[in-house]
Amino acid sequence: MNIKLIKTEKDYEEALERLELLFDARKGSVEGDELEMLGILVDQYENKNFPIGLPDPVEAIKFRMEQSGYKQSDLADIIGLKSRASEILNRKRKLSLDMIRLLHDRWNIPTDVLIQAY
């Protein structure tokens, strides 16, 4: 097992190639331990070099609605008025702190997603 930090794109590509070779390694074996360590190093490199930002708040609401079969009227039931729900979905009104709390509590949308500016 020859594991080293992933510092360059070349190191990253080599680690991915090695991961592919070790993919079916048995847990607890030397190869399995190497697979786990390489996975951690690759994950750290990717998080540093290819960060994925949080989703847009309105898109997160729309996604939750689509995934859960909710309609605009369901959103209106949470935040108050149907017209207000329409304004939020069309980006004409910002979410208030109370709306953020309600959407988090009822639809389990993370507050760090909802609180972002859009």
- Burial, 114: exposed, middle or buried (Cβ in 10 Å; 0-12, 13-18, 19+)? buried
Closest CA to 40 of 13, 14, 8, 5: 5
Residue 2 within any structural domain of the chain? no
Closest CA to 34 of 17, 50, 18, 48: 18
Predicted TM-score (pTM) of this structure: 0.62
Give the pLDDT of residue 97: 94
Give the pLDDT of residue 82: 81
Task: Judge whether 109 and 55 are in contact, CB under 8 Å.
Answer: no
Give the pLDDT of residue 55: 92
Residue 44 within any structural domain of the chain? yes
Same-domain status, 68 and 23: no
Give the pLDDT of residue 77: 94
> Which strand (E) or helix (H) includes residue 9?
helix 9-22
Give the pLDDT of residue 117: 81
Same-domain status, 62 and 97: yes
Q: Which two tokens stand for residue 101?
A: 């709390």
Each residue's pLDDT expressed in tens, for the chain with a length of 118 residues: 778 899 999 999 999 999 999 999 999 999 999 999 999 999 999 999 998 889 999 999 999 999 999 999 999 999 888 889 999 999 999 999 999 999 999 999 999 999 998 7
For 28, the domain range is: 9-49
Same-domain status, 71 and 33: no
Identity (one letter) of the amino acid at 58?
Answer: V
The domain tally of the chain equals 2
Give the pLDDT of residue 21: 92
Identity (one letter) of the amino acid at 48?
Answer: K
